[in-house]
Amino acid sequence: MTEPSSRQSPIFTKSYDFILWLLEHTEKFPKSERFRLARRLEDSVFAFYELLIQTTRSPRKPYLLLKADVELEKVRLYIRMAEARQLINPRQYHHAAERLTEIGKLLGGWLKSVS
């Protein structure tokens, strides 16, 4: 995957940056959690980004954006669980929560514009 260009919508660049940040942290999870929580986190964040890509090429934009919102909610849940299980520290949790809120606002704006 290549780095998103500066011409892309901010949701793509912010999501890409978040994925890179997340991967740096999930690879440090203990082995037992890499196959449980890290895998779910990574699968959901990749599914979210894939849905964004599909949305740009589909007439079913509202449907795909709603599916992306569900994946983003899963990521939020898994991040909360990672912090509760002390797999990420409170500072990392705060950073992730801020990024996810920002991405969520961009997603909501996009959904509003196509509905």
Q: Which residues of 2-20 are buried (b: 16+ CB within 10 A; e: fewer)?
A: eebeeeeeebbebbbebbe
Dump pLDDT digits (tens) for 69-106: 999 999 999 999 999 999 999 999 999 999 999 999 99
Residue 6: inside a domain, yes or no?
no
Q: How many domains does the chain have?
A: 1
Nearest CA to 103 out of 25, 13, 26 is that of: 13
| Rounded Cα gap, residues 39 and 20, in angstroms | 15
Domain that holds residue 49: 18-114
Residue 10: inside a domain, yes or no?
no
Dump pLDDT digits (tens) for 23-62: 999 999 999 998 899 999 999 999 999 999 999 999 999 9
Any idea what the CATH number is for the domain that residue 108 is in? 1.20.1440.60
- For position 95, what pLDDT does the model report? 98
Instruction: Fill in the amino acid letter for 80.
Output: R
- For position 8, what pLDDT does the model report? 78
Whether this prediction's pTM lies above 0.85 is answered by: yes
